[in-house]
Amino acid sequence: MATEVKVPALGESVTEATVGEWLKQPGDAVAADEPIVSLETDKVAVEVPSPVAGVLMEFVVELGETVEVGAVIAKIEAGATGAAKGEEAGRAAEQREESNEADTASSSDGSLTMSPAVRRAVIEHGVDPTTIKGSGKDGRLTKEDVVAAAKAKKDSSGAAATSAPAPSPSPTPAPAAKGERREERVKMTRMRQTIAKRLKGAQEEAALLTTFNDCDMTAVIEARNAYKDVFAKKHGIKLGFMSFFAKAAALALKDVPSVNAQIDGDEIVYHDYIDLSVAVSAPNGLVVPVVRSIDAMSFAEIELAIADFGKRAKAGELTMEDMKGGTFTISNGGVFGSLMSTPIINPPQSAVLGLHRIEDRPVAVNGEVVIRPMMYLALSYDHRIIDGREAVTALKIMKEAIEDPMRMLIDL
């Protein structure tokens, strides 16, 4: 008798998900607890494991279909050790062909559509999919094709084996013939739809305002250069700038608690802890995992936590619990070269700190013009709960802590 694979509980207030990627195909042998499908929720991708060892017999739902918690999505022949046979094998092959309709294929106009796994591999390895010969059905690209192409590119020591451009969030179409114009339609993932809805909702509900300041990064850069080797040797992690800003934010939020608060109905909720949401890039969009109680953490603990989140976000391994909560957000657009921006708050939070690129600029110091490594800081906040004086004060505390890191050690 076939064992049903059902959509598991997905986390608080999450009732449905989208079938994002089949990790196994009908006829494949699976081990107990081996992931067979990836579901996309509003926040993260969730892998569903097989409840038993056996053979995957059939998919009950299609790729891209929305499914609710508890719904049956596949069936497994428990105890089987090989590929399905007879009529079951025929059904498996038929189902495999249907599921492959969403895999990478070359359309008549030369554009590409790719499965989530292949698209993620293209982005991660920075290869041009139009230059790779697919080994799948009808010449479709597989994840293995992309990985092999990336390896060939690396082994060629600079020879453009795959003509890889800079990584892009969408596939690069083949060069169009002169005068030809092309379009590609890609369905928004559930995560991207949720991001769009939340950001628009934040603009419509909150009274958003942004205050700016510039920050001299000289002291932090000198401290980092002086101790980075010893720090890495002792803690097994590089000393980055994010831990400095996390510590600086902790000082400011303790002194100006409204920046760490949130509105709940007609009440203001103040927190005596600081759970920092750190914006990181994931294959399907920006996600904000939460580093909890940063005010009680060391520099090394903060760096290790953020590095772990970044690694798991890239691999699509963040969980719902990782994303839960958060009282304040730091978003670093500087890693992409941003000079200045007005970040949008992450509801129900009331403020977000935007970091930007560091660049040498002339500034006046003690009556003389000198060149210093400067960064623009931006604090966006909900004016319904945070007054301008409080926002400016909080940002000024962060600036002063970065320009004089000793303040972070003696709690000034």
Q: Which residues pair with 329 in a beta bridge?
A: 277, 352
Rounded to 5 degrees, φ, ψ at 248 are: -65, -40
Q: Which residues of 261-272 are buried (b: 16+ CB within 10 A; e: fewer)?
A: bbbeeeeeeeee
383 classed as catalytic: yes
Cα 192 to Cα 188: distance, rounded to the nearest angstrom: 6
Minimal CA–CA distance to 274: which of 299, 301, 253?
253
DSSP 102: G
Q: Is the peptide bond before 169 cis (omega within 30 degrees of 0)?
A: no
Of the listed 33, 109, 138, 383, which one is catalytic? 383
Residues 33, 138, 387, 404: which is the catalytic one? 387
Distance CA 100, CA 96 (A): 6
The reply to whether 271 belongs to the active site is no
Residues 6+ apart with CB under 8 A from 202: 208, 344, 345, 346, 347
- For 142-206, the DSSP string reads -HHHHHHHHHHHHHTTT--SS---S--SSPPPPPPPTT-------PPPHHHHHHHHHHHHHHHHS
Task: Supply the Cα-derived Rg of the chain in whole angstroms.
Answer: 25
Q: How far apart are alpha carbons 376 and 355 in whole angstroms?
A: 7
Q: Distance between CA atoms of 347 and 112, rounded to whole angstroms? A: 36
Measured in residues, the chain has a length of: 412
Residue holding tokens 């009808």? 138
Please list the active-site residues.
383, 387
